[in-house]
Structure 1
Amino acid sequence: MNQLSYVHQHQSAWNNYLSQLDRVAPYLGELIDQLDTLKRPKRALIVNVPVEMDDGTIQHFEGFRVQHSLTRGPGKGGVRYHPCVDLNEVMALSAWMTIKCAAIDLPFGGAKGGVRVDPSALSERELERLTRRYTAEINNVIGPQKDIPAPDVGTNAQVMAWMMDTYSMNAGTTVTGVVTGKPVHLGGSLGRSKATGRGVFITGTEIAKKIQLDITQAKVCVQGFGNVGSEAAFLFAQAGAKVIGIQDHSATLYQENGIDIGALQQYQLIHGKIQGYSTSDEIEAPQFWQISAEIFIPAALENVITVDIAEKIQTQLILEGSNGPTLAEADDILAKRQITLVPDVICNAGGVTVSYFEWVQDLASFFWSEDEINQRMDRIMRHAITAVWEKATAKNCSLRTAAYIVACERILIARKERGTYPG
């Protein structure tokens, strides 16, 4: 995806969120009076991040941290390093975190952060300086009981380690619970790196049962082959499905008889991309959405399923592995075509669920095994998707609207019971 298309897509992210919110309004009854509280962020911080580069010059980067809602607990959300990060995008991502945490019933509000930077253009030392200065700039608004950052696009466990260390140095004591997604030996949780992809698989298999789709006979296409897409693809393949299409920033692969996901993961680990894995199977990027498959998993960036794609896509089930991949207008078209869509706020919530486990383990200084992590996550995800399915059935609405109803009811009841300060 080129930079211009990325900018065009995420400029509408906040409006997309507001459109989704408007759709839930008719279902809220007397809680409708509280809905405005979700139409604006509680706090939005823009910071200057000066960094000394390896050549001795000083460059300035723009950073953000948005706390959309803290009604149900401390903010929770990732930190994104990308050349096109801006306030509009970060606001939308923080709002989706609010809905996601409430839909899963985690004791968190929604937050998100980012720095407008191309992390691949920085050396490791420059990236560390950027991270430490950004952390120092948002230091006053984050903390284990305030707002807990995590990795996102362009960041990883090492970045979280630098953030945790910087915050701890300012606090004068080690504070492992200030971020999640850390290395395991610094208070990170087992199972975290694979959790989001695992959650996509769990919710996908649960909904497949309800729409009578046999996973073992299903063909799957996955857009994005990072932690989320690659793990989801691997688990579906392991369950007997054929993953016939994979797309990342570098190439689009199509193999009618199924791609060897384990081999592709190894190739991607070495090369950082899927391009070149099997040049004879590479197709043009727009052809990805023309492949006929029972399941599509968008696991890249926002707003990739446009009206045009929604009208043409040949599938039964869409699992949103990324945040906000479907435009509101496209949602309507998919519903008319009776294509089932599992929304991001439920489908990709495995990551924040295990982040919650990591936070709890850090606070207690007591850690669980990976089997315990997976069992607890599976139970929470299955309970959440069942509750959303039942709400959708009762209200005769889409799964996305049902997820928003469940989430908004929880948030707005809490907001009403807390009242307004000062009274």
Structure 2
Amino acid sequence: MSVSIPLRRDDGVIEVLKGYRVQHNNSRGPYKGGLRFDRNVDLDEIRALAMWMTWKCALLDVPYGGAKGGVRVDPRRYSTGEIERITRRYTSEIAPVIGPNHDIPAPDVGTDENTMAWMMDTYSVGRGHTVLGVVTGKPLDVGGSLGRSASTSRGVVAIALEALRHVGIDSAGATAAVQGFGKVGRTAARLMQEEGLRVVAVSDATGAVADPDGLDVAALESHVDDSGGLAAFPFAKSIDAEDVLTANVDLLVPAAVEGAIHAGNVQQVRARVIVEGANGPVTAEADKALAELGVLVVPDILANAGGVVVSYFEWVQANQSYWWSEAEVNDKLVDRMQRAWRLVTSYAVEHAVSLRLAATCLAVERVYKAHAARGLYP
């Protein structure tokens, strides 16, 4: 679905933005997928991400199908009031195709819990009653779930610990580098440090820093909160952003952009294990090269699925009007991630294929079985 979003700017000027919602497959349950506000959003990107969500939900055995939404806008150029008006008009335009039993949006790039609160409210006004389950990733005060904000990062770390054990590396004292210090990378770095890993290099859009003895992640977070980025962090050495991807570490978590590891830099990658915190950070060419180099790559549809798992938990809680403790949410999340890890690694060993191919085959097979079981009507 493509929609036009007329916006009255704060200065009275009228703009018309473009928005999309793509629903890929609902054989296993309602559609589920994030909403991104980004200047590069286009229909092909949203189509691809919707399909990605289908496989991710199937792999983690979450009873959803894949969807995705987006608005082509740079949110940094707009006031909070303008972003709210964009969100509400977009929601009203796509309202006929979303709902708690039909299609359930969530935050993604450029959106957050406030965006979801506005979406929920707009949809609810149209229905005449509060519909908490229409979106996930909401604030706690309006039906959000404890543990949701850190869920993707917690899932990444749970899988990273399993992957390190798989290749015989003790996580206590293992070294790690994180590309991207945003929603996923920042919390992942902190959780890895809490698990005993030594985070030696991180980067964001403003710069990159490294310390072979281990970075102080708490100090990094404070610096980013105060200054807006990693640049000029005073307690570590500044390095080139590319050096984070090629750092001599046990674990690399690319948690920023698509295509970060590509044919041009893959031969310089020295990590033993790569856990994809972002969607598609390793290109197809680089993936083949990493396999030849003996690097274990954990694919995104497994590694960063923690967000959709806890989104599912939030939806369940909203539908029941009964909320769980944070410890309960986190335990259920880690258990779900570990079960998926065991399934994927067993399949990979049995069929002598990569983790990426194993994960994809399992996901597609689950969707196929659901589709076949439902049959054809009429």
The TM-score with structure 2 as length reference comes to: 0.98
1:242 to partner: Cα distance: 1.1
Instruction: Provide structure 2 residue ranges, at least 5 long, that are not aligned to the other structure.
Output: none
- 2:210 corresponds to 1:258: no
1:298 to partner: Cα distance: 0.7
Q: Specify the SS of the correspondent of 1:215.
A: coil
Identity of aligned residues (%): 47
Q: 1:5-61 CA distances to partner (integer Å, 9 max, x unpaired)? A: xxxxxxxxxxxxxxxxxxxxxxxxxxxxxxxxxxxxxxxx11111111001111111
- 2:277 corresponds to 1:321: yes
1:99 to partner: Cα distance: 0.5
Q: Specify the SS of the correspondent of 1:217.
A: coil
Equivalent-residue separation in structure 2 for 1:391 and 1:355 (angstroms): 26
Q: Partner of 2:304 in structure 1? A: 348
1:412 equivalent among 350, 368, 371: 368
Q: Partner of 2:24 in structure 1? A: 68
1:241 equivalent among 188, 193, 197: 197
- 2:352 corresponds to 1:396: yes
Equivalent-residue separation in structure 2 for 1:86 and 1:178 (angstroms): 24
- 2:94 corresponds to 1:117: no
Q: Which residue identity is paired with 1:117?
A: V
Equivalent-residue separation in structure 1 for 2:94 and 2:183 (angstroms): 27
Q: Specify the SS of the correspondent of 2:265.
A: helix
Matches within 5 A, 1:358-397: 358-397=314-353
1:206 to partner: Cα distance: 1.1
1:176 equivalent among 115, 127, 132: 132
Q: Partner of 1:102 in structure 2? A: 58
Q: 1:167-188 CA distances to partner (integer Å, 9 max, x unpaired)? A: 0011111001000000001000
- 2:288 corresponds to 1:332: yes
1:284 to partner: Cα distance: 2.0
Q: Which residue identity is paired with 1:338?
A: G
- 2:245 corresponds to 1:289: yes
- 2:86 corresponds to 1:130: yes
The TM-score with structure 1 as length reference comes to: 0.88
Equivalent-residue separation in structure 2 for 1:269 and 1:363 (angstroms): 35
Q: Partner of 2:38 in structure 1? A: 82
1:148 to partner: Cα distance: 0.4
- 2:92 corresponds to 1:92: no
Structure holding more helix per residue? 1
> Alpha carbons of 1:183 and 1:243: their partners in 2 closer, same or farther (altered >3 Å)?
same
1:214 to partner: Cα distance: 1.3
Matched-pair contact (CA < 8 Å) for 2:246–2:271: no
How many pairs are equivalent?
A: 378
Equivalent-residue separation in structure 2 for 1:271 and 1:134 (angstroms): 32
Equivalent-residue separation in structure 2 for 1:380 and 1:293 (angstroms): 27
Equivalent-residue separation in structure 1 for 2:111 and 2:167 (angstroms): 36
Instruction: Provide structure 1 residue ranges, at least 5 long, that are not aligned to the other structure.
Output: 1-44
Q: 1:305-340 CA distances to partner (integer Å, 9 max, x unpaired)? A: 112222220010000011111111211111111100
Q: 1:73-122 CA distances to partner (integer Å, 9 max, x unpaired)? A: 11111101111111111111111111000000000001111111110110
1:420 to partner: Cα distance: 2.8
Equivalent-residue separation in structure 2 for 1:279 and 1:212 (angstroms): 32
CA RMSD of aligned residues (A): 1.1
